[in-house]
Amino acid sequence: MTSISQNQSEFQEYLKEMNAYREAITLIQWDLRTKIPKKGVEQRSEVVGYLSHKLHQMETSDKMKSFIDALNEQTNDEVLQKTVLECLDTYEKNRKIPDEEFREFVMLQSKSESVWQEAREKSDFGLFQPYLEKLVDFNKKFANYWGYEENIYDALLHNYEPGVTVKTLDQVFPKVRESLTGLLSKIQSSTVKPDSTILNTHFPKQGQKEFAIEILKRMGYDFESGRLDDTIHPFAITLNINDVRITTRYDEQDFRMAVFGTIHEGGHALYEQNISNRLAGTPLASGTSMGIHESQSLFWENFLGRNKVFWDSHYELFKKYAPKHFDNISLHDFYQAVNEVKPSLIRIEADELTYPLHIMVRYELEKALINSEIEVKDLPHLWNEKMQDYLGIKPSNDREGVLQDIHWAGGDFGYFPSYALGYMYAAQFNNKMKDAINMDDVIQSGDFTKIREWLTENIHQYGKMKKPLQIVEDVTGESLNPDYLVSYLTEKYRNIYQF
């Protein structure tokens, strides 16, 4: 009979082999989104399909099941216990998907992202439509394989935010939407109008990059364990806790895209870089959910990066890298301008007040798609209608409308709600952090170590050892509560717009 220690040793070697495949796939995905020549996409997609199929087989093999059976509840090692449970969850979920269907889906994902890029450049939804139709069909099929209790969309939500359901979202989102549209109405009626046109000047990419790197360093991003690259759609990606990469997008006529986008992705990266080393090499060495992940990126981007105290102490540093144009702009006018509320067509360019409304548009559309209430061909005009209803603006083409995000091209249905949930979590964490840290003093100092250490102690270190809602309750003492976000936005924009 094989001993527990021998099973454990063999299990760890098995996980090591799986991690090798996972890291290779991740590196290819980074390359596909940043550096790959156009003609290399198809062959590279087949490589991803092969490696992902191999990983899928290992995750769902009889050998994996034998390890789970032998080690489940047979050890006092908490990390090993959680690792086995994580593998069991993956085993039970992925075992339900036939091998060939999984491989076909992964190859479709890679090809779809490439086609999406072309469709976006040409502003032609028709090019992308047949790929998206297949992706939607796969997601419906997988959701039925996995099973659900009330709404088929719940099966997809579970992949990104375990414990959250359509019922939860449909209770919380309307409340937040009503509050935000009410605030937006007051802002639009105010006689105080920040002038964001003062920000529109040519700002060379190199200067933007150097300033962004300065801020990343102050945040504590470890460049010896990561790097910064360019891409169409910014993202953070983790090969392992010692190789966490971020990307950004530069617009030389609007620095906000790169500066705030890089801070945002830096927040994601800090989460991954500060997961406890004791979880390295296990499937627990990752963020616990996309909502918690977004709480970290949105905390750094909005609660710190758009904070008045931040610009009080960093505007001079900014001007060191910025064009001379900014020497003639006062700190007050600059702060007001970077916090202007103005409904925009592009989600990643949205101000922090209207941002959640962008998420609700996407959530409602993809929920309807998965529930077979609408068809893919109808997305462009339905998207435009919802943008008009929620934000009072309407896209003039597919590029600034339905084709702007990469998520659906990657088959990531159930992902979008995590952005709004993350914003709510971030507001709760921010409120709690103030009990332990004098935030203004720390931000003013330009040394954000205490903030990063608080986040690491309470959130980062645990990786997937804790579920998302458990983290929220352990840190804040209560469950998801959108009131903190509404209060934060109300107070901030009442001061800016004087209503």
Structure tokens at 434: 């103030």
DSSP calls for 275-297: S-GGGTTSTTSS-S-HHHHHHHH
Task: Determine whether 3 is exposed, middle or buried from the number of CB atoms within 10 Å of its CB (0-12, 13-18, 19+).
Answer: exposed
Query: Which listed residue (265, 272, 364, 366) is catalytic?
Result: 265
Sheet containing 243-248, strands listed edge to edge, beginning at the edge strand earlier in sequence: 228-230, 243-248, 236-240
Helices (H) and strands (E) counted in the chain, each on its own, are 20, 3
CA distances from 477 to 227, 474, 480 (A): 36, 6, 10
Is 265 designated active site? yes
DSSP calls for 431-461: HHHHHHS-HHHHHHHT--HHHHHHHHHHTGG
Give yes or no for a contact between 365 and 386, defined as CB atoms under 8 angstroms apart: yes
Give yes or no for a contact between 236 and 245, defined as CB atoms under 8 angstroms apart: yes
Structure tokens at 229: 């690259």
- In angstroms, rounded to a whole number, what is the distance separating the alpha carbons of residues 419 and 406? 14
- In angstroms, rounded to a whole number, what is the distance separating the alpha carbons of residues 138 and 256? 37
Do strands 243-248 and 236-240 pair parallel, antiparallel, or not at all (unpaired)? antiparallel
Structure tokens at 393: 């603006």
- In angstroms, rounded to a whole number, what is the distance separating the alpha carbons of residues 429 and 53? 39
Amino acid identity at 253:
Q
Query: H-helix or E-strand containing 355?
Result: helix 355-370
DSSP calls for 380-414: HHHHHHHHHHHHS---SSSTTTTTS-STGGGT-TT
Q: Could you tell me which residues come within 8 angstroms of residue 440 by beta carbon, excluding any fewer than 6 positions away? A: 309
What's the sign of the alpha-carbon dihedral 133, 157, 150, 99? positive
Query: H-helix or E-strand containing 108?
Result: helix 99-122
Estimate to the nearest angstrom the gap between the alpha carbon of 352 and the chain centroid.
15
Active site residue ranges: 265
